[in-house]
Amino acid sequence: MSAPRLSQIVGGLPATIPFLGPEAIERQIGGALTVRLGANESLFSPSPRAVSALREAAFQSSFYGDPEGWELRVALAANHDARPENLVLGCGIDELLGLVCQAYLDPGETVVMSTGGYPTFAYHVNGHGGRFATTPYRDFQNDAMALVDLACREKAKILYLANPDNPTGSVLEPGLIAGMIAALPQNCLFLLDEAYAEFLEPAQLPEVALDDPRVIRFRTFSKAHGMAGLRLGYLFGAPETVRPLDRIRNQFGVGRLTQIAALESLRDRDHIAAVVAAVAEGRAHYTRLADAAGCVALPSATNFVAFDLGTAARANALLKSLIENYRVFIRKPTFAPIDRLVRITIGPPEARAILADALLPAVAAL
Amino acid sequence: MSAPRLSQIVGGLPATIPFLGPEAIERQIGGALTVRLGANESLFSPSPRAVSALREAAFQSSFYGDPEGWELRVALAANHDARPENLVLGCGIDELLGLVCQAYLDPGETVVMSTGGYPTFAYHVNGHGGRFATTPYRDFQNDAMALVDLACREKAKILYLANPDNPTGSVLEPGLIAGMIAALPQNCLFLLDEAYAEFLEPAQLPEVALDDPRVIRFRTFSKAHGMAGLRLGYLFGAPETVRPLDRIRNQFGVGRLTQIAALESLRDRDHIAAVVAAVAEGRAHYTRLADAAGCVALPSATNFVAFDLGTAARANALLKSLIENYRVFIRKPTFAPIDRLVRITIGPPEARAILADALLPAVAAL
C-alpha cells in the first residue's frame, strides 16, 4: 500500500510554511511569550460593541452564517461607494489571495511582486503553480515603476502590491499607483493588498474606478478592527472580475458570529479612530525608542514599525535575542535588501514598555 | 480595458453554487423563515461550556488562532487513538474537501461518487478540473461495491463516500467499507466523509488502520457539536497522506475563539450524548409524522430524516410549499433516483411541532 500520488503542482512544493505561529515558538522555547509583537494583530482589542454582540450571539454559533454575507456586504459597499456585487468575503485576505490564484492563474503563468513581499501570497502562488518574477525593494519601498516594467516585460498575469506595505510599513503616493494601473500590460490583474488601509488618511489611498476590471483591492478586519481571530477579509472590484470567485469559494466559510461582530465593528467608528490615534502615538514612541537603541525606525503607515539594524546579521541576531532572551515575539523579512529590518507591531504603552526593556539591552549586546 | 482571462478550469465552470443559504431564501420570499430545517445545523444549541468559553474569550478575538491548532489536535487525536501528526484542521469539512482536491487531483483525473452525492464535494472537484464517474444510489443507499468497481474500471484518483450518508441518512455496515478499502485500485484515495459519525454507536463505524495511506476520514463540529457558525472540521489519516496539505492550506484559517470553544465542546461529553439522545427521539417522531402524513421516513443514522414522497414531482412540490406557504426551510436532492426525497433536519419538540403543522397539510395538498 503506497500513498496516492500528489498533484503535479503540490507534489513539487517544498514543505515550508510562510510564517511560524507564536504558539509554535512557545512550544519550541518551552515557555510563554511575554508579548506578541510579531503578527501585527491589534493589541488595542476589538470594538467593545463587537465583543458585546459576539457574547450576545454566542448561542447562535450552531447556525451557519449567510453564505452570501449580504448584510455585511451591503454595509461594506456603502463605505466604498460600491454595490454588494463588487464585494467578496473570505476568511481573511490570506484565503482570498489563494482564491484569486485559483481563479486566475494557469500553471506556469507569471506573477510579479517585490522580492520578499508578503510570503503568504507567494505561498498561494506556488500552491497554484505560478512562476515568479520579482524586483527588489528600493529605499525600503516597493519600486512602483520597476514592478510595472517587469510585469510588461514578463507579460505577467498578476501584479501584486501591498500598500501600505508589509513588511516595510512604507506607503506609495496615490499618483504612483494610478501610474502603475495606467501602465499595466494586457490581461494583467493588479492585486492591491490594503490590509493596513485604515491607518492612512483617506486622501493617501489611490482612487481606482470600480468598473476597472483589472484591479482587485483587499481589506481585512484583522488589523485596525482587531478581529484577527475571527477570520474576515474582503476584496472588491468590478463584478465581471470578482463574481467568478463565487464558482469556487468556500460558500459557507465566513462564520456567523464573525459576520455579526464585523457589522458592529463597522458601526463603531469611534473605536477604530481611537485605535488609529493610539497607533500613531505608539509609532512616535517607537521612533524615539529606535534613536535610544541606536538603530533607525523607518517611516510607517501601518500598525507596525520596521527597525533598520544596518545588516542582516544584526537583524537576525536581534530577532533571536528578543525571542530567546526576552520572550518578545517579533518577525523579520528574509530577503535582501530588506533582511536588515525587524518588524515590530505597535502595542499600547504597557506592551511598548516591555519592548523597550528588551530592545535597548538586546541591541546594545549585538 | 477588458477583464483578465480566468484560468482554464475556472473559466469553464458554470455560475452555479452547491446550496442556496436560508438567508437568500428569506430575501427571495421577502420575510423570515419560521424554522431552519434544511442545513442539518444543530437546533439543540452548542455545549453551554463551549458558549461560556466563547464569551469569556471574546476579547481574545484580536489574536490569530494557533495556525497548527496544536492543543486541539492533541485532544482530537486522543479520541481517535491517533497522534496530532495524523490530523489537519480546517474551516469545516467543505474547506478540507477543496484542499484535498487541490493536493491530489490533476486536471482530468477521475473522481467516483454516488450520483447526487454531496454537492459541495462535487463543486470542489469541478473547481480543480476533476472528471466524474458516478453510480446511482440503490435502495436509497450508497452502492458500495458498484462504487469501488467503477473506481477500478475508471482508474479513479479519488473515491468519495459519505457514511452516514447525506442526503439519504443511510449507513453502511463497517464490513462493507472494509471491503471497499480492500478492493481500492492502485493510486486511489478513499475519502470517507463522516460528518454525522457522532450519531452512530462506535461499533457502527469502520475500523481503518491509521497507517493506511489511501484513506482520509473527515469529521466536523457543525453537526452534533452544534458549532456550524464557528467553522471547524478536521481530517485524519496517515501522515504521509495528510501532512502535504500543510504546503497549501490557509495556515491561519481556523479562528482563535473557534479553537477555544471546540476544546470545551470536546470535554462536554454529556452535552453531545444528550444531543444524540434527543435526536434519536426526534427521529422516532419523524417516523410517526411521516406515517401520519402518508409518506415514508427512511431509516436515518444522522440528525436528519429523508422523507420519500414517491415521485420527484411530489417532492419538489412539497419543498416549494413548505418554504413558500409555511416558511419552513428544508432541502432536497436533485438527481434521480433520490430526487423523490426531501431532507429534513431533526430539531427539538418545538421545531418538530412547527414542522408537523406544515407537513401534514402540505403533503395532503399535493
Tens digit of each residue's pLDDT (9 = 90 or more) over A34-53? 999 999 999 999 999 999 99
* Nearest chain A residue (CA) to B124: A248
Same domain, yes or no: A36 and A115: no
Same domain, yes or no: A217 and A281: no
Q: What's the confidence (pLDDT) of residue B16?
A: 85
State the nearest Cα–Cα gap between B64 and chain A, in angstroms. 4
| pLDDT tens string B60-93 | 999 999 999 999 999 999 999 999 999 999 999 9
Residues of A within 8 A of B36 (CB-CB) are: 63
Reference B111, options B69, B154, B80; nearest CA is B154
State the nearest Cα–Cα gap between B259 and chain A, in angstroms. 10
| pLDDT tens string A192-232 | 999 999 999 999 999 999 999 999 999 999 999 999 999 99
pTM: 0.97
Q: What's the confidence (pLDDT) of residue B348?
A: 98
| pLDDT tens string A61-75 | 999 999 999 999 999
State the nearest Cα–Cα gap between A9 and chain B, in angstroms. 8
Q: What's the confidence (pLDDT) of residue B15?
A: 86
Task: Using alpha carbons only, give the angle A228, B233, B238 rounded to the nearest 5 degrees.
Answer: 115
Same domain, yes or no: B22 and B148: no
DSSP readout, A162-203?
ESS-TTT-----HHHHHHHHHTPPTT-EEEEE-TTGGGS-GG
B4 and A255: CB-CB below 8 Å?
no
Residues of A within 8 A of B243 (CB-CB) are: 15
B212 and A1: CB-CB below 8 Å?
yes
Q: What's the confidence (pLDDT) of residue A1?
A: 77
Residues of A within 8 A of B226 (CB-CB) are: 61-62
Using only C-alpha atoms, chain B has a radius of gyration, in whole angstroms, of 20
Final residue belonging to a domain, choices B267, B300, B318: B267
Q: What's the confidence (pLDDT) of residue B227?
A: 98
Residue of A14, A229, A241 with shortest CB distance to B64: A229
Q: How far is CA B242 from the centre of its chain?
A: 20
Same domain, yes or no: A56 and A190: yes
Q: A2: pLDDT confidence band, cut at 50, 70 and 90?
A: confident
Residues of B within 8 A of A102 (CB-CB) are: 7, 10, 102, 127
Residue A194 covered by a domain:
yes
Reference B68, options B245, B240, B266, B251; nearest CA is B251
* Cell numbers found for residue A131: 512562476
C-alpha to C-alpha distance for A102 and B250, rounded to whole angstroms: 13
A98 and B8: CB-CB below 8 Å?
no
Residues of B within 8 A of A112 (CB-CB) are: none
Residue of A45, A92, A104 with shortest CB distance to B252: A92
DSSP 8-state class, residue B141: B
Cβ atoms B93, B251 nearer than 8 A:
no
- Which DSSP helix (H) or strand (E) runs through B193? strand B189-193
Tell the burial category of A201 from Cβ atoms under 10 Å away from its Cβ (0-12, 13-18, 19+): exposed
Share of chain A above pLDDT 90, in %: 98
Same domain, yes or no: A248 and A285: no
C-alpha to C-alpha distance for A175 and B146, rounded to whole angstroms: 63
Same domain, yes or no: A214 and A344: no
Q: What's the confidence (pLDDT) of residue A240?
A: 97
* Nearest chain B residue (CA) to A254: B231
Same domain, yes or no: A185 and A62: yes
Final residue belonging to a domain, choices B213, B243, B267: B267
State the nearest Cα–Cα gap between B310 and chain A, in angstroms. 31
Residue B206 φ/ψ, nearest 5 degrees? -70, 155
Task: Using alpha carbons only, give the angle A338, A339, A342 rounded to the nearest 5 degrees.
Answer: 95
State the nearest Cα–Cα gap between B305 and chain A, in angstroms. 19
A230 and B255: CB-CB below 8 Å?
yes
Reference B165, options B302, B332, B31; nearest CA is B302
C-alpha to C-alpha distance for B315 and B306, rounded to whole angstroms: 11
Pairing type for strands A233-237 and A215-220 reads antiparallel
For residue B361, whether the previous peptide bond is cis, meaning omega lies within 30 degrees of 0, is: no
CB distance from B38 to chain A under 8 Å? no
| pLDDT tens string A135-183 | 999 999 999 999 999 999 999 999 999 999 999 999 999 999 999 999 9
B62 and A39: CB-CB below 8 Å?
no
Side chain identity at residue A272, one-letter code: I
Report the domain count for chain A.
2
Same domain, yes or no: A205 and A307: no
Same domain, yes or no: B91 and B134: yes
Same domain, yes or no: B110 and B232: yes
Residue B109 covered by a domain:
yes
B268 SS3 class: coil
Residue B2 covered by a domain:
no
Residues of B within 8 A of A247 (CB-CB) are: 10, 13-17, 127
Cβ atoms A251, B18 nearer than 8 A:
yes
Residue of A39, A58, A68 with shortest CB distance to B23: A68
Residue A158 covered by a domain:
yes
Which domain, by its residues, includes B85? 49-267
Same domain, yes or no: B218 and B355: no
A248 and B10: CB-CB below 8 Å?
yes
Cβ atoms B191, B168 nearer than 8 A:
no
Q: Which residues contact B35 (CB under 8 A, 6 or more apart)?
A: B43, B327, B328, B329, B347, B351, B354, B355
- Which DSSP helix (H) or strand (E) runs through A291? helix A269-293
Residue A204 covered by a domain:
yes
Final residue belonging to a domain, choices A252, A267, A282: A267
C-alpha distances (whole Å) from B88 to each of B61, B83, B206 are: 22, 11, 20
For every one of its 366 residues, what pLDDT tens digit does chain B have, with 9 covering 90 and above? 789 999 999 999 998 889 999 999 999 999 999 999 999 999 999 999 999 999 999 999 999 999 999 999 999 999 999 999 999 999 999 999 999 999 999 999 999 999 999 999 999 999 999 999 999 999 999 999 999 999 999 999 999 999 999 999 999 999 999 999 999 999 999 999 999 999 999 999 999 999 999 999 999 999 999 999 999 999 999 999 999 999 999 999 999 999 999 999 999 999 999 999 999 999 999 999 999 999 999 999 999 999 999 999 999 999 999 999 999 999 999 999 999 999 999 999 999 999 999 999 999 999
Reference A167, options A289, A305, A18, A297; nearest CA is A305
Residues of A within 8 A of B1 (CB-CB) are: 212-214
* Nearest chain B residue (CA) to A182: B1
Cβ atoms A145, A180 nearer than 8 A:
yes
Residue B1 covered by a domain:
no
CB distance from A311 to chain B under 8 Å? no
Residue of B4, B21, B103 with shortest CB distance to A104: B4
Same domain, yes or no: B130 and B88: yes
Residue B3 covered by a domain:
no
Task: Name the β-bridge partners of B162.
Answer: B193
Q: What is the CATH number of the domain that holds B147?
A: 3.40.640.10
| pLDDT tens string A286-327 | 999 999 999 999 999 999 999 999 999 999 999 999 999 999
Q: Which residue has the cell 482587485?
A: A216
A72 SS3 class: helix
Residue of A27, A41, A62 with shortest CB distance to B64: A41
Residues 242-281 (A) with a CB less than 8 A from some CB of B: 243-244, 246-248, 250-258, 261
| pLDDT tens string A327-354 | 999 999 999 999 999 999 999 999 999 9
Residue B134 covered by a domain:
yes
A255 and B19: CB-CB below 8 Å?
no
Residues of A within 8 A of B351 (CB-CB) are: none
Q: What is the CATH number of the domain that holds A16?
A: 3.90.1150.10
CB distance from B25 to chain A under 8 Å? no
Residues 86-125 (A) with a CB less than 8 A from some CB of B: 91-92, 94-95, 98, 102-106, 120, 123-124
Residues of B within 8 A of A4 (CB-CB) are: 104, 157, 187-189, 213-214, 241
B228 and A44: CB-CB below 8 Å?
no
